[in-house]
Amino acid sequence: MKQLKSLFIGFALVALTSPVFAADSAGSITISSPANDAVLQSGSGNKLEFNVHLSPTGNHVHIYVDDQAPIVFRDVSHCPCSIDLPKLSSGKHTIAVKEATSGHAMTGVQGTVTATVK
């Protein structure tokens, strides 16, 4: 019985400390472009490039530029992904990519950058 208890504790410790186990359940969003604090050109032609690893509850992402309505982006299975940003006026802008469930509830997994348009 003592050996069985030791074996169980050993398996439990491996499961709790395994980096693969933790990474599989977390989900992540990385924005590769624009870089944080980047300077962009005014008007159109600016791209958002990002990578998504959905968490178990994630289904797609919402992309926010400041307070504008979100861009719903569903095809994250082929990331890294890229989209054209909407026309940006001069000034500072916040760009966020947020993971959403199939019911559009935010999961808390997100990536955010700020950029200045000249």
**pTM of the predicted model, to two decimals?**
0.76
Spell out the domain ranges in the chain. 27-117
Instruction: Answer yes or no: CATH 2.60.40.10 is held by domain 27-117.
Output: yes
What is the per-residue pLDDT for 5?
52
Per-residue HEC secondary structure of the chain comes to CHHHHHHHHHHHHHHHHCHHHHHHHHCEEEEEECCCCEEECCECCCEEEEEEECCCCCCEEEEEECCCCCEEECCHHHCCEEEECCCECCEEEEEEEEEECCCCCEEEEEEEEEEEEC
Residue 17 pLDDT: 40
pLDDT for residue 18: 38
Provide block-wise average pLDDT over 10 residues at a time, the chain (118 residues). Answer: 49 40 70 96 89 96 95 93 93 97 96 96
